Amino acid sequence: MSIALVTGGNRGLGLATVRALAQQGACVILTAREEAKAEQTAAQLRAESLDVQGLRLDVTSLASIATAVERVTQAQGRLDVLINNAGVLPEATDTSEHDFASLDMFQQTFSTNLFGAVAVTEAFLPLLRRSAMGRIVNVSTTMGSLTDQADPHSPYYQLIVPAYQSSKAALNSVTISLAKKLVDTHIKVTSVCPGFAQTDLTPANRDQAPTTAEEAVQVVVAAATLPENSLSGTFIDRNGSVAW
């Protein structure tokens, strides 16, 4: 049985990912910033006969990350899959006026989307090295593709949310660097774009999203269960490769 950990797992894409992995037979550690929410959501999934454990993990707190690593080490002893799903998009609800961007928006966004993912990955790598497989999935977006941002023919060209887009572009760069760092190991690293899904990340546009969370996370699950002969350091969506 594989052991997977999902950051931001108590709602949206994270929750759908937890459920999908557990339905495939994995033991899934559902993490959330608040212990009560993690435990409550995990209990609801256990009521569906799924093997899910709740764990407090705030990706912006090194102390919280260290405590989570200690608990997983004691309880499971290894980690097979790490899903860096936790993400924020405060620009979606920002009503302040800016000539271009807000430094506060950048700080909030990068704290979770980039620095949090890096800190969690670094902390859990020793446990991933104990796995016979080892998969790291960075939940990104085509909105972070520099190719699409610069292409007037791209459907993403008109979207300007600089903090969010640059945080995901940076996360994609981390995917490449991490894959190269781990090239001599069995661990594979993948950036994935689930697409525009019906979640609370963009509450004002939720009803416009064409994809359910359950449909969107299939690409996350695919990356979490990559065959041994698959490439590491790629960026994919449901249709295949995405341009960096």
Q: How far apart are CA 131 and CA 187, in angstroms?
A: 8
Beta-bridge partner residues of 3: 27
164 is catalytic: yes
* 7 token code pair: 């950051």
Evaluate the CA torsion angle 36, 221, 208, 99 in order and state its sign: positive
Q: How far apart are CA 73 and CA 129, in angstroms?
A: 12
The residues, any chain, with a CB within 8 Å of residue 67's CB and separated by 6 or more, are 56
Q: Are 84 and 139 in contact (CB under 8 A)?
A: yes
Q: Are 59 and 65 in contact (CB under 8 A)?
A: yes
Amino acid at 60: T
Q: Considering the candidates 37, 156, 164, 188, report the single residue annotated as catalytic.
A: 164
Q: How far apart are CA 44 and CA 55, in angstroms?
A: 14
Residue 236: CB atoms within 10 Å:
18
The residues, any chain, with a CB within 8 Å of residue 191's CB and separated by 6 or more, are 138, 140, 171, 172, 175, 234, 235, 236, 242
Q: Considering the candidates 37, 156, 157, 168, report the single residue annotated as catalytic.
A: 168
Closest residue by Cα to residue 16 from 234, 239, 195, 231:
195
188 is catalytic: no
**Residues carrying an active site annotation:** 164, 168
